[in-house]
Amino acid sequence: MSFIQKPGAQKAAKPRAGAVNVRSVSYSTSPLLASKTPPWRSKLLVALVGLAFCVLLGRALYVQVIGTKFFQEQGELRYARTITLPASRGRILDRNAQILASSIPTPSLWAIPKDLDTDPAKRGQLAKLLGMTAKELEGRLDDNQNFVWLRRLVDDQVAKDVLALGLKGVHQVREYKRKYPEGEAATHVVGFTDADDKGQDGMELAFREQLAGRNGSRRVIKDRLGRVVEDIGDSVAPVDGADITLSIDSKIQFFAYQRIRDAAAEHNAKAGSVVVLDAQTGELLALANWPSYNPGDRRHLSGEQLRNRALTDTFEPGSTMKPFIAAWAMETGRVTPNTVIQTAPGRMQLTGSTITDAHPHGDLTVAQVIQKSSNVGAVRMAMQFTPREMWELYAQVGFGQKPQIGFPGAATGRLRPYKTWRPIEQATMSYGYGLSASLLQIAHAYTVFAHDGELIPVTLGQPTGLVDGKVSGQRVISAKTAQAVREMLQMAAGPGGTGPKAMTMGYSVGGKSGTAYKQEGKGYATKKYRSWFVGLAPIDHPRIIVAVMVDEPRNGKWFGGDVAAPVFSQVVQQTLRTMGVAPDLEVKTQIVTRDMPAEEESF
């Protein structure tokens, strides 16, 4: 094959020496470059660039000038923290400045789950020290990756053992834990607090604000591990709560609790309560209940243990009401202590209902009606009153009225309006059926007899208006009538009465036993009883009132003179000795009479 070249072609293709072989382009004839750019396009570009600068300038102005506070706060949230400086809760003291409740610094353990060591063995050790299973620990750690409480208010040794594991992400903080030196003996009075140190029951709840104080604060910078790097700003110091002083005497409280606990065990009872009241000042010296609980360990707490039965439980007071009927009958001149009342043959009919005594007594004086606890005798006196007159008597001594002692949950009891009373209801109310009251209300009502006819205020704190160691109250009956009733109560608590087991070595006592069937549904249980004894000592110048209630004694005895009266005797003796009251009786004569059999009580 051969190629034919035109003349001159080879010459044209031969490059010149040193020249670059580039295809020749004519820029002047390029259609792209030859076209003219519209003016608005360049102006738009310049405008967009200018607008972008304006937006950046505006944002910088907002961040640096207008929104400075917001962004500073947001920045601080990443590194600054406010640490609460807890205030120490105030103490609760008894009348002798003995501590009933106080707060002590206690370690609490917390963790940052996302930082926590994942070694299963170490986590297992941690769970064991915290008293939980590995599964429980893992469940708690899954709640929040930034913060969880592992265990609050632990023992110092537990905290040391946990920190000794060297687990990353586990930390300790100090909080306050409440301590109750008197334990279960005083817990129904003192109450308890929750994990945040807030009052939940008793005086802890009643005086929550006064005891709580005011927490302080401290602004700090922390690193990601929760360690404080430095302080910022000023700290606010905490203000500790104020102490409160109760009228309770811890020694009397403890002894009363022991006695009611032992009596409940002896008689296989469901529960029991004791109230000890200063008859001259109205101060509550003891409020003891069984069953009780340890306020420092409430893991298995039940409602039965929690109730302050002396204040919250109401019941029909039974024969303890009879002295008020006798007192008013004497006060209004209807009878004297020696007026004879016909009670034979031990029963009476009233509007188709039968009222009975435990056994026939025949003719009884008013004093003997109280001594023998005759239902028939009490009804014959009560039916001389108008319903309104009897209602006013009961209302004056505090029945159907809420006790003003500042204790949460104190019961009012029940006293129905007199306009609705039927004759049989008025009759049964004379011996304590058809109305209800708490043990505290009954003890309070008996101040009328102990304080020469005056009903005095009851308090759990310091009494006001003391004059020569006494307070004045509301006059209900005369001092002469009160003295006559005290003599009747002494007969009831002595030989031939329903409560000789209430007699106390060295001290004269007077009181009234009570026994009543328990309500069950719309009627009464035939084999369930409440037994109580309420009285005062010494008789001539009473210093204390003691009320005892035993709920459902189930060991073959149920009369108040057999079940509650011995507790009364023991508590009276210990209390008067603790108060330094001198004995007013010869002991020898009492040794012969103290174990005499009790008169069977009508109820």
Annotated catalytic residues are 319
In 10 A of CB 488, how many CB atoms? 26
Distances in whole angstroms, Cα of residue 150 to Cα of each of 144, 194, 472, 490: 12, 17, 56, 61
- Residue 220's DSSP bridge partners are 81, 231
| Token pair for 538 | 């010494």
| 3-state helix, strand and coil shares in percent for the chain, rounded to the nearest 5 | 35, 20, 40
**Using only C-alpha atoms, what is the Rg of the chain?**
43
Gap between the Cα atoms of 303 and 291, Å rounded: 10
| Token pair for 528 | 């369930």
Gap between the Cα atoms of 370 and 325, Å rounded: 10
User: In the chain, what's the furthest Cα-to-Cα distance?
Assistant: 173
* Residue 189: HSE in the Cβ half-sphere, 13 Å Cα cutoff: 35
> Are the beta carbons of 470 and 280 closer than 8 angstroms?
yes
In 10 A of CB 258, how many CB atoms? 17
DSSP 8-state assignment for residue 62:
I
DSSP 8-state assignment for residue 239:
B
| Token pair for 532 | 């109580």
Gap between the Cα atoms of 92 and 100, Å rounded: 5
The DSSP line for 167-212 is: -TTEEEEEEEEEE-TTGGGTHHHH--B-TTS-B-SHHHHHTHHHHH
Torsion of CA 287, 288, 290, 296, to 10 degrees: 90
372 CB-near residues (< 8 Å, 6+ apart)? 357, 361, 364, 496, 497, 498, 599, 602
Phi, psi of 272 (to 5 degrees): -165, 160
| Token pair for 45 | 């570009």
DSSP 8-state assignment for residue 363:
E
How do beta strands 80-85 and 99-111 pair?
unpaired
DSSP 8-state assignment for residue 521:
T
Taking alpha carbons only, the member of 400, 395, 430, 398 closest to residue 415 is 400
Gap between the Cα atoms of 100 and 250, Å rounded: 8
Gap between the Cα atoms of 430 and 443, Å rounded: 18
SS3 at position 455? strand
Instruction: Say whether the peptide bond before residue 538 is cis (omega within 30 degrees of 0).
Output: yes
